[in-house]
């Protein structure tokens, strides 16, 4: 089970039910991608957990709720059960929590050229890095001399940190294809705006 929650400032003081998963009346714990594991049995969370986190449920149903959501609570939470001998089994794809301040911050872009060592081996990888933006939802496309390129493109997942979201995208070409072009552009569409960063092969060393 996976659901998405987007919160404005007005929503930060409302209870947010994160998940409800079957755990067959076993002990359970919740882990996050951006904070330490929260472990509990029954309705008790690990000592030291923030007071806004609470666990509940009965029988084979369990829930975790965050009251007065904060920016640091953004991330993905998972439900796990303790089968035996400290063997933890994860249920589902997790529940993602997106916390939005309502302020749009455009990505900071960096475009890195292929290295001389890579070029000497017959390939070329360009890396486009997006950082410190909000809200989530930046889309990346590539152009070679003004024409869109889709082959050899690999774009990673968006990752949340205390400074905002980040994302990376790479364009991998053969050395021959790299030499055929000159102007390489990484284009980003985010929150209704478009921006780009570019480099010229003829201005790159190697």
Q: Give the confidence band of 50 by pLDDT, cuts at 50, 70, 90.
A: confident
Q: Quick one: tokens of 158?
A: 């968006």
**In the predicted model, what is the mean pLDDT of the chain?**
76
Is residue 62 predicted with pLDDT exceeding 90?
no
- How confident is the model over 160-177, as a mean pLDDT? 93
Quote the pTM value.
Answer: 0.61
**What percentage of the chain carries pLDDT values higher than 90?**
43
Q: What is the radius of gyration, based on Cα positions, of the chain?
A: 22
Most confident of 25-39, 70-84, 121-135: 121-135
> What percentage of the chain carries pLDDT values higher than 70?
62
| 37 pLDDT above the threshold of 50 | no
Q: How confident is the model at residue 31 (pLDDT cuts 50, 70, 90)?
A: very low
What does the pLDDT average to over 161-171? Answer: 92
Give me the pLDDT at residue 64, please: 75
- Are 136 and 74 in contact, with CB atoms under 8 Å apart? no
Top pLDDT among 12 and 94 is at 94
- Is a pLDDT exceeding 80 seen at residue 121? yes
9 pLDDT more than 60: no
User: Does residue 18 or residue 123 have the better pLDDT?
Assistant: 123
Among 99, 91, 97, 98, CA closest to 20: 91
Q: Which residue has the higher pLDDT, 95 or 115?
A: 115
Average pLDDT, stretch 157-168? 90
For residues 109 and 130, is the Cβ–Cβ distance under 8 A?
Answer: yes
What are 191's two structure tokens? 């929150």
pLDDT for the residue 67: 79
- Residue 170 clears pLDDT 50, i.e. is over it: yes
pLDDT at 95: 74
Q: Are 25 and 70 in contact (CB under 8 A)?
A: no
């Amino acid at each position: 089970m996976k659901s998405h929650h987007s919160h404005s400032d007005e929503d930060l003081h409302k209870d947010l039910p994160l998940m409800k998963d079957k755990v067959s009346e076993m002990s359970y714990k919740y882990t996050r991608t951006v904070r330490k594991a929260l472990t509990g049995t029954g309705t008790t969370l690990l000592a030291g957990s923030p007071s806004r986190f609470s666990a509940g449920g009965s029988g084979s149903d369990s829930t975790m709720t965050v009251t007065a959501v904060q920016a640091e609570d953004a991330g993905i939470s998972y439900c796990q059960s303790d089968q035996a001998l400290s063997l933890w089994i994860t249920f589902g794809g997790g529940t993602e929590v997106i916390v939005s301040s309502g302020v749009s911050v455009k990505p900071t872009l960096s475009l890195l050229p292929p290295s001389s060592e890579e070029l000497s081996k017959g390939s070329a990888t360009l890396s486009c890095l997006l950082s410190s933006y909000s809200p989530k939802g930046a889309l990346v496309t590539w152009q070679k001399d003004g024409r869109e390129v889709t082959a050899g493109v690999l774009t990673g997942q968006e990752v949340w940190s205390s400074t905002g979201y980040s994302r990376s995208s790479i364009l991998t070409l053969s050395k021959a294809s790299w030499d055929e072009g000159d102007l390489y552009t990484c284009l980003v569409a985010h929150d209704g705006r478009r921006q780009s960063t570019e480099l010229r092969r003829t201005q790159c060393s190697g």
